[in-house]
Amino acid sequence: MESSMTYNLDVTPNYSYIFEFENDFIHHDYKKWMTENWTVAFYYVGIYMAFIFGGQYYMQNRPGFELRRTLIVWNSALAAFSIMGACRTLPEFVHVLRNYGLYHSICVPSFIEADKVSGFWTTMFVLSKVPELGDTVFIVLRKKPLIFLHWYHHITVLLYTWFSFTEYTSSARWFVVMNYCVHSVMYSYFALVSMGRYPPRFLAMTITVLQLTQMVVGCAINIWAHNYMATAPPHTCHISNINIKLSMAMYFSYFVLFARFFYKAYLSSKPGKKAKSEPLPEPMPPTKRPTEVNGYPRQRNGVVH
């Protein structure tokens, strides 16, 4: 769908500084490679699932690894990456909303076709969904409970973002910025917990609320996109109907699963009903320190989003 001829792409904000690697970014090269190699994403998913079941079987009669230092580095690196991504994509998002409105923010992919800064970090966002599968590696090797939400989320996000990038889905502007912002808080929280520093429990609840809010906004954006597709002139809203359906199904299923987790983790009064795993580190009672294992506090790494 060649929509760049039907709208003005001169919508980039004035960045105070642009890095050389951002300025040298050529989005067409990445789109071409990902379009020609779209099956690679399914290979990653296959390897991922094989590791989950094979790894759990291998670790079944073995003690879990502690991996505390590695976990600190992992969470800190993802937190830094997410913060940087949020700082570099948010200015374009705000600029478009303020100067061009909601329709442009949903229907025009200028964030990647015209803005090299936002385009670079959008591409990095898509590619980051592969290494983020490493979250599950820690869970399996440390013998922590692995819930359906965790691996279902990782698989569907990887496949959907890869597919959306090959189409330059314009509504992805919203999805990328929201995800970067939520991940900035979430992985920073994980990094603190893996260091043995335990923020107040309400922060864990707040992160889950942010995740739920992200799902609600995602569904709303898809509804708006569907309405724009129905009322706008043909080929002026750069989203495919199949993409809207996939995105809506994905966000709605996430909302249901995250809401269920939130209820079990924070609202259920029965101790046995407490969520035992992801998407957030295990909540600790405010009057108790976490259980010590091999001299280190227990901590559970969480699901992305």
Q: Which residues are catalytic?
A: 153
* Cα–Cα distance, 54 to 51 (Å, whole number): 5
- Among the residues of the chain, which ranges form H helices? 20-23, 27-36, 40-59, 68-107, 110-113, 116-128, 134-141, 148-167, 172-194, 201-231, 241-262
Angstrom distances, CA of residue 270 to CA of 256, 263, 267: 21, 11, 9
- Surface-to-core class of residue 241, CB atoms within 10 Å of its CB (0-12 exposed, 13-18 middle, 19+ buried): exposed
Backbone angles phi, psi at 300, to 5 degrees: -115, 125
DSSP code for 282: P
**Side chain identity at residue 181, one-letter code:** C
Contact in structure between 185 and 199 (CB atoms under 8 Å): no
Return the SS3 of 283: coil
Contact in structure between 192 and 72 (CB atoms under 8 Å): no
Contact in structure between 250 and 156 (CB atoms under 8 Å): yes
